[in-house]
Amino acid sequence: MSNLHGIILGYNGDENLRELTEARTTASVPFCARYRIIDFLLSTLVNAGVDDIGIILQESYQSLLDHLGAGREWDLSRKNGGLKLLPPFSTGRNRGAGFAGGMDALLSVRSYIERIRKDYVFIARGNTIASFDLGAVLENHIYSGADVTAICVHESSELRSEIRLVFREDGFARDMLLGGDLGDGLVGTGMYIMSTKRLLALMDECAVSGEPSFSRALKSSIDRLKIMNYIVNDFIARPNSVAQYYRLSMKLLDAEVRASLFPKGRPVLTKLRDEAPTYYAPGAAARNCLVADGCYIEGEAENCIIFRGVKIAKGARVRGCILMQDTVVGEDTVLDGIITDKNVVIGKNRTFIGSPEYPTVIAKGTVL
């Protein structure tokens, strides 16, 4: 059992995933054929032995609630601790309005944070796709004597972030660059580890100063706090547009990326659907595809991400597509560069072509 408590900020930030987040938060956007984005972060926590996790919610969280349930699939349905979902509690300062920043969100659940029984907390945005050894980060944090460990990646990583951290020779942060002009430095993932006491003290300061942003709160305390970095080389990403979501999805066809997301001994857990295995009919063809269970494939698919329960009828040709749960592609239909959301039904003999720069999204439940 870990001495770490996870806090996930499960509401949307400023990313724009258009149709994909019309009825859900980014954290519950389907990803990688059988997962939701949040599964990776939750599994990272669970695989590090973390069994107390709180998820702060703000709006359109119904899909996330449905996905997480009591947390049983992540082994987080516990008598003590386990998964706690923290929907907005509109007696605070931001009645009805969205959170102005991470600190604002944390302050809205202050009484929850006061009751944390673990000595350390891990904070992350729920829209982060991340699979790494969090136990090693905690160990390093305790050993280093730092006040805060900022989990960072190199500039070459897939992560698009507005945070850069500049470090002194002694290893502690000298400056944080936020948004706008980004200089040299390590890319901040927005994931931090600190002691629960330190977090509460920081929250108290912000409650007085009115600072709603977690990053700005850290930046303004940079002279007082020892902020260390921990560089993660595993796949970490955060889709902030449909084009980037598409690009990241296609990256999954790369064996090295999959090896980084699904290392041995660190399974990624998700809600089960009890689907039958996928059936490939005589004459079916799948090349360079990632396919979940419960599919029925009679046609051809190339370079595709195919979610659970998808049907591709005879003569259909699907290329460079992301077909989410229960999509039906009719006979002789041609799809290229298309993202279909859940339960999309496309009839016979249709042709839809999108482009990787601006992939066409067919919204949830559309029948064409």
CA 276, CA 187: separation in Å to the nearest integer? 42
Task: Indicate the residue among 38 and 152 with the shorter CB distance to another protein.
Answer: 38
Q: Buried b vs exposed e over 105-136: b needs ≥16 C-beta within 10 Å?
A: bbbbbeeebeebebebbbbbbbbbbbbbbbbe
Minimum distance from residue 295 beta carbon to another protein (Å): 9
Instruction: Please choose, from the candidates 125, 129, 165, 168, the residue with its C-alpha nearest in 3D space to the C-alpha of residue 149.
Output: 165
Minimum distance from residue 258 beta carbon to another protein (Å): 7
| Structure tokens, 75 | 């082994």
Task: Indicate the residue among 157 and 249 with the shorter CB distance to another protein.
Answer: 249
Task: Indicate the residue among 16 and 77 with the shorter CB distance to another protein.
Answer: 77
Minimum distance from residue 172 beta carbon to another protein (Å): 38
How far is C-alpha 164 from the geometric centre of its chain's CA atoms? 20
Other Cβ atoms within 10 Å of 93 Cβ, number: 12
Minimum distance from residue 118 beta carbon to another protein (Å): 25
Bridge partners of 362, per DSSP, are 340
Return the half-sphere exposure (C-beta side, CA atoms, 13 A cut-off) of residue 134. 30
Instruction: Please choose, from the candidates 65, 68, 88, the residue with its C-alpha nearest in 3D space to the C-alpha of residue 77.
Output: 68
Task: Indicate the residue among 3 and 303 with the shorter CB distance to another protein.
Answer: 303
Binding site for another protein (CB under 8 A): 32-34, 72, 253, 255, 258, 261-262, 267-270, 272, 274, 276-294, 296, 306
Minimum distance from residue 312 beta carbon to another protein (Å): 13
Task: Indicate the residue among 148 and 310 with the shorter CB distance to another protein.
Answer: 310
